[in-house]
Structures are given as structure tokens and as C-alpha cells.
């Protein structure tokens, strides 16, 4: 289930669309699989249906999902451009975190050791 964080500066529709993208990328949601209707997903997430609709429209525009008349939304093949944008977004987050670690005085080797440790734990 997607977690909505009201304290997150990202709009809720972006949190929803990013959550769906992550489920697609990790294989939890597969190509041609249906996703919940706007109303049922909004109910589950306790958000306004317009917010879910906005997230779905964004995902559709980017090529992650498509609407089949009378059937609802289904997952499409991972779009190349969508994947590139997703990676750019994650790269930006990593850069921000690296800068924060550098500001508190961590050296490159310490940061790399931290990354290696986290990688092994996952």
C-alpha cells in the first residue's frame, strides 16, 4: 500500500504516482495488470478522488498506465522516457543527501562505506 505523508512537501498526487511507479519497477504491479478504480483507491488512501484522478492522468501521460474503456486502468510496459525521468528524480534525491553528508564533514570513503553497509543490509 502506498503511504501518504502529509508532511512531505511533494503534492499527494505525486506521492501516489511515484508509489505506483515504484510498484511497477519492483515488479509488484505487472504489465497488463489492472489497478484499482479512482474511487476505490481514493477510499483506501483516504484522499479525494480528484487527487487519485490527477495521479492517474499523470501516469497515463507519461506512459506508465492506460485506460481501457469500460475496464479501467491497466499497467503498460515500463516506458523508456518514464524510467529515465524516474532515475533523474532519484539521482537528484541522492545528490541532495550526499551534499548534506558532506556538509556535516563526512569524507568520500565514509559515505561509500555507509552506502556499502546499507546495500549489504538490503
- Kindly report the CATH number assigned to the domain that includes residue 61: 1.10.10.10
Alpha-carbon separation of residue 12 from 7, 9, 25, 83, 99 (angstroms): 10, 9, 20, 21, 26
Number of other CB atoms surrounding residue 4 within 10 Å: 14
Residue pLDDT, tens place only, 1-19: 898 998 999 999 999 999 9
Residues 19 and 68 in one domain: yes
Query: Looking at the structure, do residues 68 and 97 belong to the same domain, yes or no?
Result: no
> Is 110 part of a structural domain of the chain?
yes
Domain match, 87 and 74 both: no
Domain containing 95 equals 81-121
Q: Is the same domain home to 105 and 60?
A: no
Q: Against a cut of 0.95, is the pTM above it?
A: no
List, for residues 94-117, the tens digit of each pLDDT value.
999 999 999 999 999 999 999 999
Amino acid at each position: 500500500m502506498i503511504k501518504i505523508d502529509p508532511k512531505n512537501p511533494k503534492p499527494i498526487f505525486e506521492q501516489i504516482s511515484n508509489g505506483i511507479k515504484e510498484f511497477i519497477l519492483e515488479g509488484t504491479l505487472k504489465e497488463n495488470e489492472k489497478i484499482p478504480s479512482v474511487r476505490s483507491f481514493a477510499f483506501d488512501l483516504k484522499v479525494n478522488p480528484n487527487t487519485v484522478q490527477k495521479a492517474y492522468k499523470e501516469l497515463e501521460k507519461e506512459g506508465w498506465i492506460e485506460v481501457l474503456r469500460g475496464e479501467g486502468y491497466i499497467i503498460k510496459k515500463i516506458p523508456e522516457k518514464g524510467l529515465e525521468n524516474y532515475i533523474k528524480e532519484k539521482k537528484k534525491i541522492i545528490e541532495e543527501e550526499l551534499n548534506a553528508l558532506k556538509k556535516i564533514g563526512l569524507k568520500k570513503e565514509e559515505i561509500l562505506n555507509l552506502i556499502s553497509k546499507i546495500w549489504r543490509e538490503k
